[in-house]
Structure 1
């Protein structure tokens, strides 16, 4: 069995619940295959009294039968128990089973894929609320963990519930994918040794999703792994895209349309631009769609420098979705060597730049540490200036700005390369233009440091000297938060 990697903050929270002297209701949510179930079962292996998982797209009768089977397993009964008639009765059965056990020990009830159990007109959520409010809260030895991949549903119906679970959650965990340091540690625990450039390539193609990383084999290069997982006849990640969104959202068509629109725009899109691109309404439906995707970890909203949250720019942050849409959807090429043939193409170069920027955006804490500003209050943002049509002015796009309380700004340029990055005369002029346009348009009085974030650093030549004020390298991204 795999050892639990990382998750130190989440482990501590779960252990604190064990030490509490009152009942605990813990909500855990995060996207599919991120390791929620493994975390709970690992930490609470010795205290687990009841473990029940909802069935995707199953009706009330099948969910109740599944509940009965789980209860029978927990009780160790060989004689079949009666199937509950409804959820009120189901939780009454569970209460009867738990009461004598909780008199003597701490016990954990784990209900996984919680949103799938609440089928239309099933009364599940109401019955669970009644179970918790009228009995569970009085059991000082009881911990109930409810878990779901549909993060937005969990937030709306559990964490921010207006009904029976209003203000009842005692702790909540939003489980995110592994960062680069955790990814490296996880693969090392599986005896897979790759250099950091190979690890970074894999992360850019599939993200830090433990279940995806579990498919990596010893002795394979990043290119071989990508070939096998995406391009082989029965490739594991080829069919994952459709399953991924269908398992999270009741009707995923608009969610996927938003993801596809953002996959085409490395610089991101504003809310109004997304509405126009995807042909959405300008009301609450769009707000809900964006919130659902953001809570599930697929997109992120970035507030441009000097702007308000109403002017946020949305970017695709899910590495797997970006790679799939760029190279797999509709592709005819398959088989060994397919990815190696793609690597030199313009499309692959464009993708690697886009993907590396997304990885950097997820490792701001590491970037700050490398720059020596971990203890300084910093606001992260992006910035772009688009001159009016017909204007002779030049525009500029800056994907990451670190606006510091010490009256300095790091203007970050992120470049993925297989060797030390070389700043050419043309690129130096582009960088100088960005600095000039930013300072002119924002009228900032702060000192602006041009900061290069690269894989292997920047070659020191006449074009880099005097221009680049700070550097962050790939290795700096592989440290703990």
Structure 2
């Protein structure tokens, strides 16, 4: 990590540093992916590469990965997933029952845990030939394909790696947290499907956390979270507390509604 930080020019903007390091042939991060994968995974590098490509657009189950790649779930695919997880490139999120806290053994998803990896596969690799030929033309980062969606995943990863700051912001730093992680509820005859960016379970309550990375976060986020909470299958006596973890400007109409029990500004974590 110190080696990467040394490459950042503090007198340049974040966008300028990204362009210099990622979108130029001599940039440190232009070929870093290839070097890392070859050094770490050697003969399994191609399989590992195929796996992470399936996860650029979001977390997936083993069954989904297997189906996309047309490979059996065990054997070399399972071994490659384990290697990627041990190397820190992937995380396997095991979902828990918010009512009991019990982990659902067969219910889990894999997600990319390394933000450089996702950025490389989505934006650097597709432009590689043009960069090598000197044909790549600079464009504002926010105009890149699916930029808002990808940055949403990047931000969610940062939040899931920042439990200390989240717990402190919620006043849970010195209290017992029973479970914490992303949550997914499948559709059945008795319940609707539901995806929660981060769910935290304590003895007193279940915290439903929505993550948002956007220049302007509008009041529609209240409707989104309201819908998610309404779909959750929880005991009637269980207390639900709503949380918005954000980076960007909140619409002035959000805070006065008092809908969210907690508003956590992740930009303050960086400043702190």
TM-score, normalised with respect to structure 2: 0.85
Determine if contact 2:30/2:124 at 8 Å carries over to the other structure: yes
Give the distance between the partners of 1:470 and 1:444, measured in 2 at CA. Answer: 22
Deviations 1:336-387 (A, max 9, x none): 9956523134511111111000111100111101111012222112222343
Give the distance between the partners of 1:228 and 1:310, measured in 2 at CA. Answer: 43
Deviations 1:158-180 (A, max 9, x none): xxxxxxxxxxxxxxxxxxxxxxx
RMSD: 2.7
Summarize the Cα distance change of 1:376–1:311 in structure 2 as closer, same or farther, 3 Å threshold: same
TM-score, normalised with respect to structure 1: 0.50
Which has the higher Rg, Structure 1 or Structure 2? 1
Determine if contact 1:343/1:349 at 8 Å carries over to the other structure: yes
1:314 aligned partner: 110
Determine if contact 1:423/1:464 at 8 Å carries over to the other structure: no
Deviations 1:64-92 (A, max 9, x none): xxxxxxxxxxxxxxxxxxxxxxxxxxxxx
Q: Which residue of 216, 225, 245 corresponds with 2:17?
A: 225
Does residue 436 of the first structure (1) align with residue 230 of the second (2)? yes
Shift of 1:325: 0.9
Q: Which residue of 180, 189, 206 corresponds with 1:409?
A: 206
Give the distance between the partners of 2:84 and 2:19, measured in 1 at CA. Answer: 28
Q: Which residue of 241, 245, 250 corresponds with 2:33?
A: 241
Map 1:132-151; keep pairs closer than 5 Å: none
Unaligned ranges ≥5, structure 2: 98-102
Give the distance between the partners of 2:136 and 2:142, measured in 1 at CA. Answer: 10
From the two aligned structures, give the one with the greater strand fraction. 2
Give the distance between the partners of 1:284 and 1:376, measured in 2 at CA. Answer: 42
1:423 aligned partner: 219
2:148 aligned partner: 349
Give the distance between the partners of 1:399 and 1:287, measured in 2 at CA. Answer: 26
Shift of 1:457: 6.0
1:373 aligned partner: 172
Map 1:59-74; keep pairs closer than 5 Å: none
Give the distance between the partners of 1:375 and 1:364, measured in 2 at CA. Answer: 13
Determine if contact 1:457/1:471 at 8 Å carries over to the other structure: no
Unaligned ranges ≥5, structure 1: 1-208
Summarize the Cα distance change of 1:413–1:333 in structure 2 as closer, same or farther, 3 Å threshold: farther
Q: Which residue of 125, 138, 160 corresponds with 1:329?
A: 125
Give the distance between the partners of 1:464 and 1:386, measured in 2 at CA. Answer: 33
Does residue 261 of the first structure (1) align with residue 60 of the second (2)? no
